[in-house]
Amino acid sequence: MIGELAALGAAFSWTISAMLYKEALLKTKPISANIMRLTSTCTILLIFLALSGRTAILTSLPNYAVLLSCASGIIGLGFGDTLYMISLKLIGVGRAVPITCIYPLFGLLWATFLGEPVTLPVVFGALIIVLGVWLLSKEKNANGMGKQKKILVKGVVSALAAAVFWSVSIAMIDVAVTLPETSDLEHALAINTIRTAAVAIALLAFSPIIDRNFGFLKMERKTWALLVSGGIVALGLGWFLLAFSFIHVPEARAVPISSTTPLFSTLLAVLLLHERITLKNAVGAIMIVVGIFLIFFF
């Protein structure tokens, strides 16, 4: 039961972080936001390890676990999260979160390419997810080729691309935390810290190219606080809980539970962010969650 609760905790953590990111993105660019978020969160995680006397565990990790962690961070937190922030800025929490949460479908697709059988519930679940995404991408007044429709399309495509990167990243982190040498709480924390540090260093190194105006150094204090808070909730807590759940339950069970984020995000987007969520959007979010459960539990 602890594994399932951890996965559910991850889903709720990601909902809270999405709301914090959305507010921060009103005042900064997605790439600047991601650089500052990851750098600050990495620093906090390293300080926590140092204060708790756990820094030695970072050097005790096997080389292949470190490589998997670094690759997972760059793919998922670097590419995936930047695209996620772009989608949040363009189409809001109520739409972006449900679409990005279809990453289990892509994970299943990779497994199918490797020879796993495709069952009828899997096909049916995939169709439901596709229909759910279609409903989320519908705009009531977007019949022409206007600016609003272009923004919607760009936001949806960014969210879908983020889901693809996340699916690869999660598969890597699952392998890293379920190795015989790393399958405990302390190693899960160390692996999560390494993956965050790897992408933070990479983004800082390339910041003169990808953030030419160094926007991450010029943001307001409130924006920085929102990003740091979101980073701690999403990376420090959310990803740690997901990695911890992999230790106790199979990925095929933990991932769908962690994908219930759309249910939380749709509700909170209306209540706290006052986003306009249509009946189609709400049904689309529910269909994505139902489709994921069909694929993994039947």
Q: How many domains does the chain have?
A: 1
pLDDT digits (tens, 9 = 90+) for 12-24: 998 999 999 999 9
Mean pLDDT of 249-253: 73
Q: What is the pLDDT of residue 145?
A: 55
Rounded CA-CA distance 26/36 in Å is 15
Q: Quote the radius of gyration of the chain (alpha carbons, Å).
A: 18
**What's the confidence (pLDDT) of residue 261?**
83
What average pLDDT does the chain have?
85
Is pLDDT larger for residue 75 or for residue 270? Answer: 75
Residue 248 in tokens: 């106790």
- The separation between CA 60 and the C-alpha centre of its own chain, rounded to angstroms, equals 27
Q: What is the mean pLDDT of residues 60-83?
A: 92
Q: What is the pLDDT of residues 84-108, one digit of tens each?
A: 999 999 998 888 988 998 887 887 7
Q: 76, 37, 286, 90: which is closest to 161 by C-alpha?
A: 76
DSSP state of 119: -
Q: What is the pLDDT of residue 71?
A: 95
Which helix (H) or strand (E) is 97 found in, with range?
helix 93-100
Residue 242 confidence class, pLDDT cut points 50, 70, 90: confident
**Residues of the chain above pLDDT 90, percent:** 35
Range of the domain at 42: 2-297
- Amino acid at site 65: A
pLDDT in tens, 271-298: 877 777 788 878 888 888 888 777 766 6
Q: Express as a percent the part of the chain with pLDDT over 70.
A: 93
**For 137-150, what is each residue's pLDDT tens digit?**
776 554 545 668 88
Write out pLDDT tens, residues 179-221: 777 777 788 788 888 999 999 999 999 999 999 889 999 999 9
Euclidean distance between CA atoms 68 and 100, whole angstroms: 22
In the predicted model, what is the mean pLDDT of residues 31-60? 89
**Three-state secondary-structure class, residue 265:** helix
